[in-house]
Structures are given as C-alpha cells and as structure tokens.
Structure 1
C-alpha cells in the first residue's frame, strides 16, 4: 500500500473544538491537528532555507560549548574511561533519537515539528509539556553559552566588566536573529563550517600528540587511564559525565523545527540525517577518547580555571608548548559559542511560536511580521535568556555554567525519552491504519527495538541523576539548592503535563484516529520529482561527491 493511501479522513471525522471559560476543550481522537493548522499552512513562515545550510547547521549544532569546554567537567569528575563510556552510550541514544525524528519529520515535514507530532500521536498534554521543556531547554542554553563566552574572552587579559561583555554578546546574537531567516541561514552556515574545521584539526593534532609525534612531547597513549584515574568517583562520576554528555549532544533535534522553513524538506531531512552516524562517531566519540588520552583527569585547570584553559582541548595544546595554537583555538571556540547562542534564540523563538500556532498556548505568542519573524517569541526568549546571563555578575562563571548545563542536560534526557515514546506510537498508528512502514520516505532500520533500548537507557539515567542530585559528586551534604539546580526540569515537566491534562481534560490518542493526512501533499510532490528525474536524469555522482555526501 502506498503511503498516499491514508485511511484517516478529517472530513469524515466529527470535529469538536469548543471553548469553555477561555479554555480549549480537546476531544482527542475526533480532532485533527490539520483542522487547527493545515499541512501546507506556513503559519507565516517562509520556506527559504536551502539544503546545504540546514545540513551544515545540523552538523555544527552539537559542536558547541558542551564539547569544547564542558568535557573538562566530565573528564575531571569521571576520569577518561568514565567519560568515554558516557559519551559513547549517549552517542547511541542521540543517534537513535535523530533517526526517530528523521523518520517522522521526513514523512510530515510541516510547521510544529515533534511538538505537533506528539499532539497527533500521543496526547496534547504531552505535546504541551514537551514544547515547554524544549523552549525552556533552549532558553537555558542562552545563558550557558554567554557564560562560556565570558570565560573565552578572559583567556586574553582585559579590563572589560563582565556586564559589558554580556551585553555585547547579546547584541550580536539579537542582531543576527532580527534579520530575516535566510540571513540567519548564511551566518550559521559559515560559522558551522569553522566549527567543523576546528574539530577536524583537533582530531589530527591529538592523534599526533598521543603518539609522541610532537617534538618535546613523549608518547602518552593510555597513561592517564592507569593508577586509579580511569574511573574517578565511581558511579557518581559516571552520572556526572552522562549529565554533561546530555548537554554536549543537545541541538540536533532542532531539524524537526527547521523543517517548517526548509526548501524541499523531505530531500533535505533524508540527506541530513543519514550521515549522522559518521559525524557522531568522528566529532564526538573519537574526540572524547582522544582528549581522555591527552589530558590528565587530575589537571586542576579543568575545573575552576579562569578562561578557556578549562577546555581540555586548549590544555592539550598548551601542554605541548605551542601557545600560539592555544590562542588560535580560543578564537575558534569564541565563534562556536556565539554560533550556539544565535541558534538557541532561533530555536527558542520558533518553539514558543509553534506552541501558539497549535493552540497549546495563547495566540498572542504566534505573532509574526511580514518577513516571517516570530516577534513575540524572539523578544521573550531574548529577554528571559539574556536576563539570566547577568547572574555572572554576582556568581562565578563556573557556578553559573554548571547550573544551566545541568538543567539543559536533564531536560534533554526527558525530551529524548518523550520522542522515543512518540515514535513508538507513530509506528502503532501506521500499523493500525494499514500504512506500511516500508513506504516511508525515510526509515529507521533499528525501529522499534532501538527506541525501546534508548528509552530504557533514558529511564536509568533519570534515576541515576536523581541520586546524583541528592548525593552530589563533590561530597557536599544534600540540599535543596543542589537538588533543584540539577533536577528541577523533571518536576517541571510532570507539572506541565498533569496540569494541562487535568485542566483541559485531554485524552490519549487512539492509533486508529491518528492524523496522517498532512503527508499526502508531500507524497504528491515526491511523485512529481520522481517523474521529473525520469525525464531528466541527474548526472552520475563522482567518487569525491559520494565521500563528501557521507561526511558532510
């Protein structure tokens, strides 16, 4: 059966969307999201982002503060082996999450992303909770990135007040987001290119360094994995590394949000998601193993250091005596941090607006100008995220960064677990309506087993992080401050879900009533593109093109 042969027919389904005392009463199972927002309704956005920009933005999304600077925390508390295990396991969890999002979003690459998909496949209350968590996640990333930027510029002697640096960085981030989306796409494309260039250069540098190929530097190999340094702080250290890995890997799920502004969205999503296995393996897993070989976990500069010498990558370069390279990498890190801040504002604003477009929050937040800029979402995300940045004026950068990176990491676990549930329900809906998963434009070949394994890991991590919040790795006594600075995202998510569910009395979506009608126009576009390709076959790909298409 073709994926066009959908059994769902919104015209034949009773629609029940009533308002009672200012509340929207959903009778889920008899209402389709396409009734609220038609599948080809751009919701005021413009599809102007080309495939090359989205591909590079997705590649660069994870090469941020968490990788460059935050890995120092993981190495210091967990040791090289603990850090390597945490990041390798997390790479699988996130890769499978990417595949889940890719399958669902390629099928229906429409505005609202996985928030809309949760409303359609699971429960509107869960869609609200997930959307608020995703918005909260990206708003918290703004102060985390600005805090990291402050430590970056402090690497160079200067007398500029902290508040002034914060204001300068926020103005730069705001300016890029104020321009129309195609300008944002151009800026992020080149910034992501610089990120990739820097991370590839570090891979080669650390391979040479650990092999003893740099003059004056002995062969290191697994020296720092010995004498009890491989696993520091046992289980607590491992949980600390997992939390930092959650922060480091965050970002790639925004492909579902960008899909609403993408040209040729199905083609873009397929070509972006497929090579992620190689990117995850090289940019994250390989780098983490190498940095654990090049830097001692007992190096006091990893935690509490002033400036980006807290970055294990900069420490590795500094240990070789090539100080000019440390300055060069520091400049690259600054570009990385600013780039992540720009993306954080972009995604946060689109998420808040999507919640409003889907009638999950007040329509006031859905306002966009003629150029498709979500004005209210931009202003609110910038004001809230930017305001939190000024906590650096009264607290150490390390303390502020730890707060926000922990919140972002735990929120990531919750979101990824919800996305696994969403994908499992998506497959159930396809089966119930007689739509073969083999007809999907993009398919996760590990489904549904990969989702169940990933969900099991997420549940284990949530329990482990609760233990860490109650019994910190530093040995400090349990306190409300320690608990809420690490684990507040979990009770907030539960409160959002239960509060929305009881107030609006939402219902669980039955598999037979899931709305797949939004895929029909895209199926027709695919058919037209196939016919055009048969009439005018594209030239054969060269070997160089095949290699670059896998890597980039």
Structure 2
C-alpha cells in the first residue's frame, strides 16, 4: 500500500466517518429512542431497509463477527511472549471469551466504568506512542542514524502496488474506523440523550485525527512498507508500532506496547458484546425479529441476546482451532465489509422542521454528507476491485466471495423481507416525530425554568451588585 496511500486513505476515511457521526448524531439528538439507527431506518425509510441494516449491523458486517475477530486477536497478541505459546488455542479462546462475557453481565453503569478505565489507559498509551514515533522520525533515537521524516517515502517509495495498493488502503481504513452507528444504539440507554449525544460529536473529531490519523502518518515515517517483519511476521510481531520499537532497539517499549494492544483488544471485545446484544434486542423490540430475542431481566440486561451473541461469536472463534475450518471462519469474517448510509435531509424539510431548532445541527449539511456518500461508494468500488483482482494472487470465485460476501447478503435480506411482508417506502411527510416533539417540550420547559431562576436572582441583587455584574460579568 505504501505510506502515502495509507496516510491519505486514513485521513479521508476519518473525515467521512466523522461526517457519519454528525449525521447519525443529528437524528439521534432530535429523536433519541431505543433501537437507534435501526429504528430510524425502519421508520424513516422502509421496514425492509431497517431489517436488512439491523441484521447486517448485528451479525453480517459488524459486532457479532467482531467478537471472534477480537478473541482471535487477543490470542495472537498473547503469542508475542514465548512462554505463552505452549498453551492450547482452545484454552485461550475460552478464557478470553469468559472475560468479555463477564464484562457484560453487570448493568450499563458498571459497563461504563469498565470502558472508562480501559479508555483512559489506552489514551495514555496512544499519546506515549505518538511522542515516541515523533522523536524517532525526528532523529532522536540513536538506532535510526539520523532523522527519518519522509526518508521511507523515497526509499522504498510512497506507494506500493499502484492503484491496487491505494484501493486496499481505503478498504482497510474503512474497516479500521468502523462507523458511528453505536452512538444511536447507546443513546437509548443514556440518562440525558440529547445532551450526551451532542457533547460527544466534536471531541470524536479531534480524537480520530490525533489518535488514528496522526499515528498513521508517523508510523509511515518510521517503518518502510517492505520491512521483513511487516511482510512475514504474525501477530503483534507484524504490528508496525511494535516493529518501530524493535528497530529503535527499545525492546521494553515493544513489550509494554503489546500489553496495551492486548488491553485494547479485550476492551473492543467487551464493547462488541454490548452493542451486538443491544442491536438484536432492538430488532426484537421493533418486531423485525421474534420478540423472544428481546427478553430482559429485572435490571434491563438482554440476557437472551447476550447468550446468543456469546454462542455465535464465541462458537465461530473455535473454528480457528481446526486448520480445515479456518477458511470457513475467513468467509464469516468477510461479512464485515458491508456499508449502509442514507440521508436524512428530506425528512426535516417535509416535516417543516427548521434546522435552527435542532438540538444538534450537523455542520456543512447536507453537502458534506453527499461528499461522504461519494467516498463510501468509492470504498465499495475499491473493495470490489480488490476482490476481483487481489494483490499478489489471481482472482478466483473463492477469493471474490471471501472478500465481498457482505453486500450480496445485505441485498438478499432487504429483498426477501420486502417481498415477504410487502413493505413500502415511507414518505418523508409521513414520518412520526411525536416522540421528538415531546423532547422539544421538555427542553422548552427547562429553558423557561432557567430563565425564571435567572430573573429571580437578578431581581434579588442590589444596585451595586447589578452594576458590578454589568461591568465584570
């Protein structure tokens, strides 16, 4: 792919993913309901579209399939240390699966605390790595023999494998960033969803560009794309960050970094269980699948969904214990490739909703989102191109479906549901926004109460205090 192709791809995709966050955030802040974007698509577009997107998000392209991917990654990370390589693969799989399940048996508050602590540790690790890579690229590490900067962009080069390399970079960037739909999923359980959703959107922009994009640019300066370990090593030994630490003769940093990667993998696995179970529950609550899947205990935990997600996600992971089943696992993993987007602008116009009254207004909408849609279509085209003509091997039916199975299944889900239930596309003027207007009334009453309190406070002040406030604020 090359450092230039990778850096450009990650920069563009990061911006597009943030646009998706703003689009989903705008709709969710205005009408924060249980079911998130699955319910939004079922009620704003078509129930068949909501079903296909929900099944796609739950199993085919996102969270259920991320569970075995993260467990497999955790096993791979643990193989970094020779002492752990003698432990059977099935034992590691069972242990990591148990940890991820336990992280989801508590209520949402405990889950939030677990993720808060893990996120804090990961942030510290990422910041430390950024500083190290910056020092290494600037020539502050003796083992590099001087400043690197863009040296590897010239030797061996900025691009690798031409257009195929760029296409591969865009598909990998799309997978790495994922999407912003989980904001809409989690908003249904937030205490003050309008405030919560609004307060998370802009910080996400800075986090993505500082933690993801900046790291990609720096690692491209410190590790050449033809590095032997980058091409042939397995597990985290093939991680460019670990390779950078080893090339700098800082083995202690490689060990520390591997521990942080392990923690990140476990954290992502816990989140995968959480979002997957809530997505299946939302499908059941919306009657898009059988209501049995929406069963909850007294604490509100979707125990049926948790069991199903654990059985599917964990069960698929055991396929890696058998070499003959690895191809089956790879086919399931390829389902993570599908994408789904739609534009909400016509809804507001048809309902007579002024953008100025929205709790959160997506910046540069709708033009920025049209740009995002173009990039998403381009990524899908890149994925198709790589599936038909993969890098370093001839294109076959096996390699095509192993890389592009998600989109046909998404279309099958949509068409099958639509033909079976005879659903119709929903007109923008027919969308029910009554729940959103209830939130509008609550916001209006809250503002009125705050204005009354401010007026009473103002009337209780003396002349001197009023003058002081006028001058000093």
| 1:128 Cα offset (Å) | 0.5
Pairing 1:432–2:344 present: no
1:471–1:254: structure 2 CA closer, same or farther, 3 Å change rule? same
Written as runs of structure 1 = structure 2, the 5 A alignment for 1:31-46 is none
Task: Assess if the C-alpha contact under 8 Å between 1:148 and 1:397 holds in 2.
Answer: no
Query: Quick one: distance in 1 between partners of 2:439 and 2:156?
Result: 56
In terms of mean alpha carbon deviation, does 251-260 or 392-401 score higher? 392-401
Report if the CA contact (8 A) 2:21-2:179 is conserved: no
1: CA distance, partners of 2:447 / 2:135: 47
1:87 maps to 2:10: yes
Contact preservation (8 Å) 2:70, 2:265 = yes
Q: Name the SS for the 1:238 alignment partner.
A: helix
Q: Distance in 1 between matches of 2:433 and 2:228?
A: 55
Q: Identify which of 170, 176, 187 aligns with 2:114.
A: 187
> Structure 1 runs of 4+ off > 6 angstroms?
396-402
1:406-437 CA deviation, whole Å, 9 max, x = no partner? 532x22xx12xx2xx2xx2x321221121111
Taking a change above 3 Å as real, the CA distance of residues 152 and 381 of structure 1, as seen in their structure-2 partners, is: same
- Asked whether 1:491 is paired with 2:400, we answer no
Mapped to 2, the partners of 1:274 and 1:401 lie a distance apart of 37
Paired residues of 1:244 and 1:406 also in contact (CA < 8 A): no
Is the counterpart of residue 214 in structure 1 residue 141 in structure 2?
yes
Aligned to 1:317: 245
Native 8 Å contact 2:29 2:197 kept in 1: yes
**Whole-angstrom distance in 2 between the partners of 1:244 and 1:270:** 29
Q: 1:256 to 1:289 in 2, by over 3 A?
A: same
| CA distance in structure 2 between the partners assigned to 1:292 and 1:398 by the alignment | 31
Going from structure 1 to structure 2, the CA distance change for 1:519 and 1:245 (only over 3 Å counts) comes to same
Q: Is the 8 A contact 1:147 1:401 kept in 2?
A: no
Cα distance in 1 for partners of 2:433, 2:237 equals 51
User: Per-residue deviation at 1:397?
Assistant: 12
Q: Aligned partners of 2:143 and 2:374: how far apart in 1?
A: 47
Q: Write the deviation string for residues 259-286 of structure 1: whole angstroms up to 9, x where unpaired.
A: 0110111111111012222112111111
Between Structure 1 and Structure 2, how many residues are aligned? 449
- Aligned residues of 1:141 and 1:404 also touching (Cα < 8 A): no
Larger Rg: 2
1:144 and 2:69 equivalent? yes
Q: 1:405: how far off?
A: 6.0
Q: Give the 3-state SS of the residue equivalent to 1:484 in structure 2.
A: helix
Give the drift of 1:531. Answer: 3.6
Q: What displacement does 1:252 show?
A: 3.5
* In structure 1, distance between residues paired with 2:34 and 2:71: 29
> Is it true that 1:174 corresponds to 2:101 in the alignment?
yes
Residue 464 of structure 1: how far off its partner (Å): 2.1
What residue is the counterpart of 1:118 in the other structure? Answer: 41
- Verify the 8 A CA contact 1:304 1:398 in the aligned structure 2: no
Cα offset, 1:237, TM superposition: 1.3
Q: Please, which runs of 5 or more residues in structure 2 have no aligned partner?
A: 455-473
The CA distance in 2 between the partners of 1:262 and 1:82, in whole Å, is: 39
Aligned to 1:445: 363
Provide the secondary structure at the position in 2 that maps to 1:98.
Answer: helix
Aligned to 1:162: 89
Q: What does residue 265 of structure 2 align with?
A: 337
Is the contact between residue 244 and residue 405 of structure 1 (CA under 8 Å) also seen in structure 2? no
Residues 1:245 and 2:157 are matched in the alignment: no
Q: State the alpha-carbon separation in 2 of the partners of residues 249 and 405 from structure 1.
A: 16
* Deviation, structure 1 residue 358: 0.5
Distance 1:210 1:530 in 2: 52
Structure 1 unaligned regions, length at least 5: 1-77, 538-552
Distance 1:340 1:334 in 2: 10
Give the TM-score normalised by structure 2. Answer: 0.91
Aligned residue in 1 for 2:471: none
What are the equivalent positions in structure 2 for 1:456-471 lying under 5 Å apart? 456-471=374-389
Does the 8 A contact of 2:320 with 2:329 survive in 1? no
Counterpart in the other structure of 2:288:
360
RMSD, aligned CA: 1.9
For the residues of structure 2 that align with 1:213 and 1:362, how far apart are their CA atoms?
A: 60
Higher helix share: 2
Structure 1: how far apart are the matches of 2:115 and 2:204? 18
| Residue 233 of structure 2 is aligned to residue 305 of structure 1 | yes
Deviation of 1:232 after TM superposition, in Å, equals 0.5
- Which residue, out of 222, 240, 243, partners 1:294? 222
Question: In structure 2, do the counterparts of structure 1 residues 233 and 174 end up closer, same or farther at CA, with 3 Å as the change threshold?
Answer: same
> Which is worse superposed, 476-485 or 465-474?
476-485
Deviations 1:165-207 (A, max 9, x none): 1110000001111122221111111111111111111111111
Task: State the TM-score, normalizing by the size of structure 1.
Answer: 0.78
Report the counterpart of residue 130 of structure 1 in structure 2: 53
Deviates more, 1:224-233 or 1:399-408: 399-408
Match of 2:432 in 1: 515
Structure 1 residues 395 and 528, CA gap change in structure 2 (3 angstroms) = farther
Q: Give the deviation of 1:395 after TM superposition.
A: 3.9
Local SS of the residue matching 1:492: helix
Query: In 2, distance between residues paired with 1:313 and 1:399?
Result: 28
Match of 1:547 in 2: none
| Structure 2: distance between partners of 1:125 and 1:504 | 8
Aligned-partner Cα distance in 1 for 2:17–2:351: 29
For residues 205 and 298 of structure 1, the distance between their equivalents in structure 2, rounded to whole angstroms, comes to: 21
CA contact (8 A) 2:334 2:402 kept: yes
| Contact 1:469–1:482 (8 Å) recurs in 2 | yes
Shift of 1:126: 0.5
